[in-house]
């Protein structure tokens, strides 16, 4: 504690532009969570108040990590990773099932989502593995070690099931490997393999019905490739937008209507009819589909403003990576920025029908305590790199 207090003057050197973007995004989230929950009559109608509390906790973590020397992560990285892995295993056995998935561990009446902790644990452990101290033999480890490191939590997250969160690990690890100096050719091969895999999965969903397979045969086929019914339905309605509009395709269709109906300037705060009338399901409007609420009520102008704030956050993170005093800081920043960018891209893309619906929140804006705290903790690490940047 004394050591942290001695480092407090470093806060004067923070990247203030990043801090402005963070506060603006948190404020946006609180406002539109209140709009998304205005018609709910259950006890969760005060979600925006809970979001403020989580934001305050997260900002406290942000300041602590900004003051903390990020290089000391080497001392705790593996313990952090093991703790996250244990929690990911625990949630499969003791987790609370909500909407068909075991993603939350209940502790003192609060839900904790280990999958969010796992992402940061992989980033920290990967950065430390890729960037050994200067007094040790410095060499890029085999990529297989990194894939094994990320593969364990990735598989555990997929078992929950939470395909959206699991997929975030892939671009994060690839980006960190690239910045750490790994050979480009294997990364290109990996990227192409990933695209081919996605195409194979899409074909696996579309072809059985096209080939005239009986429903029983289709079920056996999907069980063989470990694709659950709800994942299959989401991919199916993505490939066939007009299919099952009152069932599996409902969220996607209503989200697209909400975004499109916002027009240039929107319908006004708390005036979005898709949201108010419940066409955009109230269970997901403040979480995975918060961007649909923002787009309907603020239109194209508001949507671009939110994108600009995320752009500011990403650019600030990449700038910090450029001026970092060492390789560890550079790789760490790129991993965190890639995680945030992936969340933003996939979340916004799914709300407008560009990708299948996956349960992935919008950083600092979607309702969620664990993700808010973890995101701010991670951004605090970027500030820690910045205040100790080259030349200081």
pLDDT tens-digit series, residues 245-302: 666 667 788 888 888 888 898 898 888 888 887 778 877 888 889 999 999 999 999 9
Looking at residue 218, its pLDDT comes to 60
Tell me which residue of 285, 230, 231 sits closest to 259, measured CA to CA.
Answer: 285
**Cα separation of 368 and 113, whole Å?**
9
Task: Name which residue leads in pLDDT, 18 or 102.
Answer: 18
Q: How far apart are CA 240 and CA 217, in angstroms?
A: 21
Nearest to 221 by CA among 209, 230, 233: 209
pLDDT band at 137 (very low <50, low <70, confident <90, very high): very low
Mean pLDDT of 386-392: 76
pTM > 0.85: yes
Strands 96-98 and 110-112: unpaired
Determine phi and psi for 161, rounding to 5 degrees: -95, 145
Q: Say which range, 26-35, 152-161, 205-214, has the weakest mean pLDDT.
A: 205-214
Q: How far apart are CA 113 and CA 102, in angstroms?
A: 9
Nearby residues of 281 by Cβ (< 8 Å), 6 or more positions away: 250, 251, 254, 289
């Amino acid at each position: 504690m004394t050591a942290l207090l001695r480092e407090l003057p470093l806060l004067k050197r923070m990247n203030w532009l990043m801090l402005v973007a963070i506060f603006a995004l948190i404020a946006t989230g609180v406002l539109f969570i209140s709009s998304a929950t205005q018609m709910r009559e259950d006890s969760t109608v005060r979600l925006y108040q809970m979001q403020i509390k989580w934001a305050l906790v997260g900002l406290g973590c942000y300041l602590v990590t900004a003051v903390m020397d990020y290089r000391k992560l080497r001392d705790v990285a593996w313990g952090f990773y093991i703790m996250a892995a244990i929690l990911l295993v625990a949630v499969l056995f003791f987790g609370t099932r909500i909407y068909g998935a075991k993603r939350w561990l209940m502790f003192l009446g609060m839900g904790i989502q280990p999958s969010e902790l796992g992402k940061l644990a992989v980033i920290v452990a990967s950065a430390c593995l890729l960037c050994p101290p200067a007094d040790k033999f410095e060499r890029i480890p085999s990529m297989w070690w990194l894939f094994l490191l990320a593969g364990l939590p990735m598989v555990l997250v997929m078992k929950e099931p939470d395909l959206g969160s699991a997929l975030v690990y892939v671009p994060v690890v690839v980006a960190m490997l690239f910045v750490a100096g790994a050979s480009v050719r294997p990364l290109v091969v990996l990227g192409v393999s990933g695209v081919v895999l996605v195409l194979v999965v899409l074909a696996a969903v579309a072809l059985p019905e096209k080939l005239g397979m009986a429903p029983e045969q289709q079920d056996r086929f999907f069980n063989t490739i470990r694709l659950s019914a709800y994942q299959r339905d989401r991919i199916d309605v993505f490939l066939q937008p007009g299919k099952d509009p009152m069932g599996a395709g409902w969220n996607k269709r209503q989200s697209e209507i909400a975004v499109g109906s916002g027009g240039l300037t929107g319908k006004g705060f708390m005036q979005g009819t898709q949201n108010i009338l419940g066409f955009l399901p109230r269970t997901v409007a403040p979480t995975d589909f918060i961007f649909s609420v923002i787009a309907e009520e603020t239109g194209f102008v508001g949507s671009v403003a939110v994108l600009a704030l995320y752009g500011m956050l990403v650019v600030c993170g990449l700038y910090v990576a450029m001026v970092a005093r060492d390789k560890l800081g550079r790789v760490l920043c790129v991993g965190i920025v890639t995680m945030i960018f992936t969340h933003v891209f996939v979340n916004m893309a799914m709300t407008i029908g560009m990708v299948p619906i996956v349960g992935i929140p919008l950083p600092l804006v979607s309702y969620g305590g664990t993700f808010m705290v973890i995101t701010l903790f991670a951004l605090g690490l970027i500030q820690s790199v910045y205040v100790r940047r080259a030349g200081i």
